[in-house]
């Protein structure tokens, strides 16, 4: 049975141990002991809220920032009257270090399982805010590249191609996925906080107000994630529109080339036919006349296309 601990003299780990038990997912033996002694059973927990005779089960899927990598982790809270049991990926889940530090600063938060869960949810919400900031910074880092795409040329004056846009779009899609998952996590966090507020006994003075502030903070992070999600979708739409314009320009160029060379091609095909007698070929200026007619036939559609403004 794993209990969170800090160096002696810094924190009263015995107090924290009275109400919070951590369980790593691979630890099957400890899970069996907890099921026998406390009646807590995570076997039937899914993505929704569960309830047994002694525990309320609240799952939360979280994005965790480890360096520049965003990982997806699932935590399940089993909230009882006396104990809070957390089913987490590792025995020492670093995401909860902030919660332990918060309880160090405010030892009153170790007074019950409900107050400990408040501190843990607070730490998860802080991590979500950090992940959203990571996504926002990633978008800011792409601003120069996006601006170059809209102008059509890079810093060396080279024309931006489809492959360049594809690489930027790939990174933007990754950012959108991260922010979308944060929105989902915030919904689950808000649900867990509301259930915590409803389950918290009235004897815990001041905890209800803290949870209410936490719910507001969770909603604030969700709104920030929604803002970033709208921003990345707008940028994706802008790049997609520019890509469509780029492809249309390519098609237009080939269409103009075809229109300009179609009449000369027709003349060349006519003159290349094996007739027994072609009087213009016997004329002294027949070759020059045919060449001039070919040039005029090419210039006429080009002038028409330019007057229509199709070259712009």
Which sequence spans correspond to the domains of the chain? Answer: 13-248, 250-307
Largest interatomic CA distance in the chain? 115
Check: CB of residue 248 under 8 Å from CB of residue 202: no
d(CA 120, CA 77): 10
Q: What is the DSSP letter of 158?
A: P
**What's the confidence (pLDDT) of residue 4?**
40
β-sheet with 20-24: strand ranges across: 20-24, 84-88, 69-79, 56-66, 50-51
**What's the confidence (pLDDT) of residue 58?**
93
Query: Is 25 exposed, middle or buried, given 0-12, 13-18 or 19+ CB atoms closer than 10 A?
Result: middle
**What's the confidence (pLDDT) of residue 220?**
94
Domain 250-307 has CATH 1.10.10.10: no
Strand, helix or coil for residue 308: coil
Global confidence as pTM: 0.73
Exposure on the CB side of residue 48, measured as CA atoms within 13 A: 2
- Phi, psi of 127, deg, nearest 5: -65, -40
Low-confidence spans in the chain with pLDDT less than 70: 1-17, 44, 46-47, 144, 147-164, 204, 270-284, 286-287, 308-312
d(CA 63, CA 130): 10
Distances (CA, A) of 187 to 29, 48, 290: 32, 12, 76
**What's the confidence (pLDDT) of residue 5?**
38
d(CA 129, CA 189): 12
> Could you report the per-residue pLDDT of 102-128, keeping only the tens digit for each?
988 888 888 889 999 999 999 999 999
Strand, helix or coil for residue 311: coil
> Could you report the per-residue pLDDT of 146-203, keeping only the tens digit for each?
766 666 666 666 666 666 677 777 888 888 888 899 999 999 999 999 999 998 887 7
d(CA 179, CA 133): 10
Bridge pairing between strands 84-88 and 56-66: unpaired
Strand, helix or coil for residue 149: helix
CB atoms within 10 A of CB 152: 12
């Amino acid at each position: 049975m794993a209990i969170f601990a800090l160096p002696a003299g810094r924190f009263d780990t015995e107090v924290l141990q009275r109400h919070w038990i951590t369980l790593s997912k691979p630890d099957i033996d400890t899970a069996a002991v907890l099921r026998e002694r406390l009646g807590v059973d995570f076997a039937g927990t899914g993505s929704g809220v569960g309830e047994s005779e002694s525990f309320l089960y609240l799952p939360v899927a979280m994005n965790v920032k480890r360096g520049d990598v965003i990982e997806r982790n699932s935590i399940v809270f089993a909230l009882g009257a006396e104990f809070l049991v957390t089913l987490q990926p590792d025995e020492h889940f670093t995401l909860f270090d902030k919660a332990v530090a918060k309880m160090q600063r405010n030892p009153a938060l170790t007074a019950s399982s409900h107050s400990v869960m408040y501190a843990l949810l607070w730490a998860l919400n802080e991590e979500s805010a950090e992940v959203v900031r990571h996504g926002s910074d990633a978008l800011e880092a792409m601003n120069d590249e996006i601006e170059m795409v809209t102008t059509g040329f890079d810093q060396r004056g080279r024309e931006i191609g489809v492959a360049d846009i594809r690489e930027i779009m790939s990174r933007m899609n990754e950012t959108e996925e991260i922010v979308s998952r944060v929105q989902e996590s915030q919904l689950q966090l808000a649900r867990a906080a509301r259930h915590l507020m409803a389950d918290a006994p009235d004897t815990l003075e001041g905890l209800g107000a803290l949870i209410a502030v936490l719910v507001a903070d969770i909603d604030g992070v969700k709104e920030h994630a929604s803002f970033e999600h709208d921003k990345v979708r707008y940028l994706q739409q802008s790049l997609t529109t520019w890509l469509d314009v780029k492809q249309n320009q390519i098609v237009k160029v080939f269409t103009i080339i075809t229109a300009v060379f179609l009449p000369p091609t027709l003349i060349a095909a006519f003159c290349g036919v094996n007739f027994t007698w072609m009087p213009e070929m016997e004329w002294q200026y027949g070759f020059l006349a045919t060449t001039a007619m070919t040039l005029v036939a090419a210039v006429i559609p080009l002038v028409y296309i330019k007057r229509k403004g199709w070259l712009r």
